[in-house]
Amino acid sequence: MLKRAIFGAVYVAVIIAGILGGPYALLLLLLLLSTLAVNEFLMMVAPPAESRKEAAVGLLLRSLDCLGAAVMVVTFWNPNMILEGFMLYLLYVVARLSVQLWLHDRDAIRSLGESFMAQLYIALPISLMNYVCFFTPHLLLLLFILVWVNDTFAYLVGSKFGRHRLWERISPKKSWEGFWGGLVATVICAALCGYFANGWFGGFAEWKMALIGLIVTVSGTIGDLVESMIKRTVGVKDSSHLIPGHGGILDRIDSILMVIPSVIIVVSLIEYVF
């Protein structure tokens, strides 16, 4: 328990430092999250290597996909190099497709599907964190905090009162009681942030912040279930053992991967309509 708490605190400190430490600290954080999570995903879903040659090929493909994720992150980080970044990313796509031509002993559809799913499922949402920071870095930090609040209260309420399974086929421990407990706590936390620190989080009114809290709970729960579905499909408990007591990076950011695009859609609609 102590080890879990220590490494959890280190993870939180890294996230806070990366978001509030300036643009280069943010870039370093997003590069770290994207490359580690993409690598974990690909190692998790790929079949075990049966020879040194297969292991070397797997390492080559993971390296190429991590490079593609890094290019996407840098492109979104610096709006002045959108065209150059887009061209580099197209080069990654061409390279990945071309490399597949030489892999006679691999299922081409499965192999390419794993690579491009890693880009869409992991690299794109992490890259879009840059877009959230265009409003204010504090909003991105708030989204992480709201995810943590939702996870904490969903666990506490679910452990105490959980009776009705939320999605038993995928995650037997999650309950509707836990979901509602997390939702109430997250919406209240978001609304209070809007009331007491409005200027820090983009100037959104309390009701808009409460709406963001609602979106975080729903989309974060879906993100958690999606990763649980992937792990259950490939038969693993954690995406890796990188963080003792917590699993891998992908286990820590599974909720935020769905939260980021969902909140961007809602915030953009709010700004457009209101």
pLDDT digits (tens, 9 = 90+) for 132-143: 988 889 999 999
Task: Place 15 in a pLDDT band, splitting at 50, 70 and 90.
Answer: very high
Distance CA 123, CA 94 (A): 17
| Dihedral sign from CA coordinates of 214, 174, 241, 55 | negative
Contact between 182 and 157 (Cβ < 8 Å): yes
Residues in contact with 61: Cβ distance below 8 Å, sequence separation at least 6, in sequence order: 42, 96, 99, 111, 115
Q: How far is CA 220 from the centre of its chain?
A: 9
* Alpha carbon distance, N-terminus to C-terminus of the chain: 46
Q: For residues 152 and 155, what is the distance between their CA atoms, to the nearest angstrom?
A: 5
Question: How far apart are the C-alpha atoms of 203 and 264, rounded to whole Å?
Answer: 15
How high is the mean pLDDT of the chain? 89
> The whole model's pTM is what?
0.93
Sign of torsion over alpha carbons 50, 66, 116, 122:
positive
Mean pLDDT, rounded, for 66-71: 96
Question: Would you say residue 274 has pLDDT above 70?
Answer: no
Dump pLDDT digits (tens) for 230-264. 999 988 888 888 887 778 899 999 999 999 999 99
SS3 of 163-229: the string is CCEEECCCEEEEEHHHHHHHHHHHHHHHHHHHHHCHHHHCCCCHHHHHHHHHHHHHHHHHHHHHHHH
Question: Which DSSP symbol is given to 50?
Answer: -
The H or E element containing residue 77 is helix 52-77
- Sign of the Cα torsion 31, 33, 38, 39 reads positive
